[in-house]
Amino acid sequence: MNSLFSVRNMKVIKIEVCAGTHCTMLGSSDIMDAIAGLNDEGQLLCPDCQLEIVPIPCTGDCDHGRLSPIVRINGEQLNQADSATVMARIMTMAGNDGRKG
């Protein structure tokens, strides 16, 4: 039975953002700030969507910064990520990709 406090249907989007040296230098903290803003502005995401933003230590996948910043969205890895790409991916997953109809 669904109660008011049910979280059974919550759609969790987990975003892991590398907080290692190369990725931080190339803007990973700024990506975190940008997506945290999506969470704050409530209306932008579907009502039962929840963003889980986790800074993670260096993944070792960045090839000494050449592929930084590294971001994983529900396990799928994005190399040379930027805020715009990450936000667009999240918005699509949250059913609000800006396309009408």
Partner 1 sequence: MRGIFTPITKIRRQVFTEIARFAYERPLVSRDFSVLDEAPYRIIPGEVPQYRESVFKERAIVRERLRLAMGLPMRPASEHQPFTRDMETACSANYQIREPLVQVIPFACESCPTDRFQVTDNCRRCLAHPCSIVCPVKAITIEKSGAVINQDLCIKCGRCVEACPYHAIIRFGRPCAEACGANAIDSDELGRAVINQDNCVACGLCMVSCPFAAISDKSEILQIVSAIREGRPVYAEIAPSFVGQFGPLAKPGQILAGILALGFRDVVEVGLGADLGSLHEADIFLERVPEKQRFLGTSCCPSWEDFARKTAPDLDACIASAHTPMVATAIHIKQQDPQARVVFIGPCVAKKREALEPDVQPYVDYVLTFEELMGMFSAHSIELTDMDELPFTDSASRDGRGYAVAGGVADAIRHTIERRHPGHAVPVMKADSLQDCRKMLLLARAGKADGHLLEGMACPGGCIGGPGTLSQINRSGKAVQAFSEKSPYRDATENPRIAASSDEAPH
Q: Which among 3-11, 28-36, 40-48, 85-93 is the span making contact with partner 1, rule CB under 8 A?
A: 28-36
Question: Smallest distance from the beta carbon of 21 to partner 1, in angstroms?
Answer: 5
24 binds partner 1 (CB under 8 A): yes
Nearer to partner 1, 12 or 25 (CB): 25
Cα 82 to Cα 5: distance, rounded to the nearest angstrom: 35
**List of residues 6+ apart from 9 with CB closer than 8 A:** 2, 48
Quote the crossing angle between the two packed helices 83-93 and 28-40, to the nearest 10°: 30
Q: How many residues bind partner 1 (CB under 8 A)?
A: 23
Q: Which of residues 54-93 bind partner 1 (CB under 8 A)?
A: 55-58, 64-65, 82-83
Reduced to 3 states (helix: H, G, I; strand: E, B; else coil), residue 57 is: coil
Cα 51 to Cα 37: distance, rounded to the nearest angstrom: 11
Residues that bind partner 1 (CB under 8 A): 19-33, 55-58, 64-65, 82-83
